[in-house]
Chains A and B, each alone.
Chain A
Amino acid sequence: MQLQAKFDFGFNSEPFLAKVGKVSDPDVRELTPVSTTGGRPLCLSFGEKNDDVPNSVCVGRQFSYLAEGDIVRIDPNAGEMRVVFRTNSIHNVIFMTERCNCRCIMCVQPPQNVDDSWRNRENLELIAALPKDLKTICVTGGEPTLNKEAFLNVVKALAEHLPDTDVHILSNARTFNDVPFVKAYADATNNRFTIGVPLHGVEPQAHDFIARSQGAFNQTINGLLNLAANKRQVEIRVVVHRYTAEHLADIAEFVVKNLPFVVHVAFMGMEPVGYAKSNFENLHVPESVWWGGAAQACKLLDAVGIPVSIYNVPICLLREDLRLYSRQSISDWKRTFLPICETCKAKNDCCGLFESFAGLPNIGLKAK
């Protein structure tokens, strides 16, 4: 699914957010600006450019999925349009920053050391424009909490504007090492907020090596304990690759003994983009290597009542006893199936593949 493209808008203006109005003509989408900084109404046309309509922009049919209530970001000076919210998706995100305090060897979105603080105001505008009945939204980055003030503003806005929405934050929790910050977060939020935190090992040498940052484990563990002490929900995420594959059972035992408050544990297949792609040869292990450890881990977590899932691994690559933990985890806009999947009986229950796998050698898919 294409979310971004270049067009000539025919005018100059600061970037602005605009919302898709009621669709009356299937070939046309009318956009109304929602930013405080201005912008102007636009008319996206999938067919011929219509000179009778003011501000008509001709875009390709790949954007015909745009529905009423969807939100796009228009940057006329750069000639760019990006879809930032889709009503019909459960995979919408608030993207906080490209910066990060880790450099995980399997990162799918290698951080950039850039000043992108311009996102902060736009994110607040986006939140104000989101529908009240939104079921779920994800706050991510980069490390979304690096600018603590901006992060607190965003969670406050979410809690106030969308009191019935589940908010899922993807953070390495290192900044929650700071107790006053955790208290401020707890004050601003409620139990609809969950922080998904990656754990790469059960001690710092393993974890910090994967995070490529000394001190990461210490801050993350302290952060998790601080969040629990302030009654905020946390989830543990373990990306499975060469350096974690043999330790899944140990990680589950560590969580059960030390972090019994977590609301969910996810074991996740790698998405081969970013560092995960450049390090793919070094990181990828056949799934069969970790089936045994994953089974021990999942059974233990299940037994003590901690919900557990396996993400991003097609069902045909999971051993029979692991399939019940498999979830449809891959975001709709980057999920794909291969030709071999078309005849598979399990396709409807399967998470499929990341689009990024399409160009890589077959990793062993089999139709059932």
Chain B
Amino acid sequence: METVPSSQGFKSADSFAPKGYAPMPFNFKRLDDGRFVLGNLSGDFATLTDTEFHLFVDGKLPVSSATYRMLHSKCFLTDDSGDWPVRLAASKLATRLERNSELTSLFIFVVTLRCNCSCQYCQVSRQSADRLSFDMSEATAEQAVGLVFSSPCPCIKIEFQGGETLLNFELIKRITNLVEARNKTAVRNVEFVVATNLIEISDEQLTFLHEHSFYVSTSLDGPASLHDMNRPVIGLSSHDAAERNIARVRAALGNDHVSALLTVTRSSLDKPREIVAEYQRQGFHEIFLRAISPFGYAKRSVGRTGYSTDAYIEFFKLGLREIIETNKRGYFMAESATALMLGRIFTPQNEGFVNLQNPAGDGMMCMVFNYDGGVYLSDEGRMLAENGDYTFRLGNVGKCTFRDLLTSDKLTEIVDDTMLEGTVGCHACPYQTLCGADPVYHYATQGRWIGNRATSSFCKRQTAKIEHVLKLLENPEDKAVLMTWLH
């Protein structure tokens, strides 16, 4: 029979205190004056005052203190109470990496480069709506669908990109039907998304999208004046068209089947309140305060639309404040980047967002089939190609197997170079689990996909956003709002 604990009275709390401890591996950096932030492999975070920090690393933190107990419960130390922090850390790490091991889930089909819009910040060298040579062929589409089902991933997302996708709707129908036919035997969890500017959508198209449970992703840059300036279309207001058609999509597909993507341009910087208000006015419950991408065609318009990283960070903070206040006024709205961060802080899950993976999700988790059959490891990679740089092309749908693509020298080299534990600057960063490597971004801005964190605007932006959110979480009222964004 096992030893029986005492049943009389209360043993003093101190009698359960350990005799000594050893820190577990962690990274740290200064958060602000007088405080350090610590982050570990299991994705737990702690902030300590300088005094607490030095006591902790010197092995002198009082074992019964609240700080000690907090660090213990977050897997920052082990003591003679047992190996449970190691088991929990391992379990959280495994949960996070499980997503990466499922391999590619997002397949982007660029069905056409033709477009009816001439956005200032367009990342693709758009082609006028009548040049059919920029459409994907049926043969290419069929080969690409074959590659999709070579991925072992149980969840498959098919995303149609352009150009303006609806200009080649016949091919969208063809691919959708092909995928569904293949899936009768493959039995994956398949989801379809179409990105469209919604300048024009027919009832027949809506019916088809509804029948196949599509999600529609469109653009909304803010109120009409801003949106129309960013997204000019000859002869009409692209904002009015989008608003009218967003309502039609909701009516046909359901409220939660349409989302909008914001592109922040220089003209947006002083209008965070107006932009958030417009999202609320149009009934959106999620907004992504996304910085402009310095890729492809957009790089040429930097003079007109670009801005400094500092200016973006300021905009992000103001926008996030406005969104939080909107929630406090009773209207639910989440900011996507913040929600993602919160998911990684408070749960062990990896939501699979391609641009924030370690190692990079490009190729491993996402694959792009360009209209001409070129296979790229990300949408940004194919945008570079439209400007003549084929660095991120992995092969061609007709010539490669899924295995060829995933095991190509190029992809394995990129994976090798984007493990944050081994990249200079990231290796000691406490925010590894909230961040990722973006090889295309660093290649486009710094000339090397591995990048240099000391001068990386990606790193600067990420660090600022993460630290801003960590500080917001210290305010109980803001935290109460932010926690409702978890799902």
User: What is the count of residue pairs linking A and B with beta-carbon distances less than 8 angstroms?
Assistant: 110
Contact yes or no, B6 A146, CB < 8 A: no
Contact yes or no, A258 B88, CB < 8 A: yes
Say if the beta carbon of A208 comes within 8 Å of chain B: yes
Say if the beta carbon of B25 comes within 8 Å of chain A: no
Contact yes or no, B73 A209, CB < 8 A: no
Say if the beta carbon of A299 comes within 8 Å of chain B: yes
Given A209-B13, A303-B486: A110 touches B87 (CB 8 Å cut-off): no
- Give the contacting residue for A260; candidates B15, B83, B349; CB below 8 A: B349
Say if the beta carbon of B346 comes within 8 Å of chain A: yes
Given A299-B484, A300-B483, A304-B486: A205 touches B16 (CB 8 Å cut-off): yes
**Binary B-proximity of A278-306 (CB < 8 A = 1, otherwise 0):** 01001000000000000010011001110
Contact yes or no, B346 A256, CB < 8 A: yes
Interface size on B, residues (CB 8 A): 38
Contacts of A296 in B (CB 8 A): 480, 483
Give the CA-CA distance A279 to B7 in the complex, in Å: 11
Give the CA-CA distance A110 to B1 in the complex, in Å: 17
Q: How far is the CB of A321 from chain B (nearest CB, A)?
A: 12
The residues of B with any CB-CB pair to A shorter than 8 Å are 1-2, 4-7, 10-11, 13, 15-18, 43-44, 64, 69-70, 72-73, 81-84, 87-88, 91-92, 95, 346-349, 480, 483-484, 486-487
Q: How far is the CB of A111 from chain B (nearest CB, A)?
A: 8
Nearest-CB residue, chain A, relative to B17:
A205
What 19 new A-B contacts, CB under 8 Å, besides A258-B88, A303-B483, A303-B487? A99-B1, A203-B70, A204-B18, A204-B82, A205-B13, A205-B16, A209-B11, A214-B5, A214-B15, A214-B16, A217-B81, A257-B92, A258-B91, A275-B7, A279-B10, A299-B484, A300-B483, A304-B346, A304-B487
Given A103-B7, A203-B72, A257-B347: A225 touches B82 (CB 8 Å cut-off): no
Say if the beta carbon of A101 comes within 8 Å of chain B: yes
Nearest-CB residue, chain A, relative to B84:
A221
* Chain A to chain B contacts (Cβ below 8 Å), 10 pairs: A101-B4, A111-B7, A205-B16, A206-B69, A209-B16, A218-B82, A256-B346, A257-B348, A279-B10, A299-B484
**Binary B-proximity of A257-280 (CB < 8 A = 1, otherwise 0):** 110100000000000000100010
**Binary B-proximity of A312-337 (CB < 8 A = 1, otherwise 0):** 00000000000000000000000000
Contacts of A103 in B (CB 8 A): 4-7
- Give the contacting residue for B6; candidates A202, A204, A212, A299; CB below 8 A: A212
Given A110-B7, A204-B82: A260 touches B484 (CB 8 Å cut-off): no
Contacts of A219 in B (CB 8 A): 82
Give the CA-CA distance A356 to B458 in the complex, in Å: 62
Contacts of B1 in A (CB 8 A): 99, 113
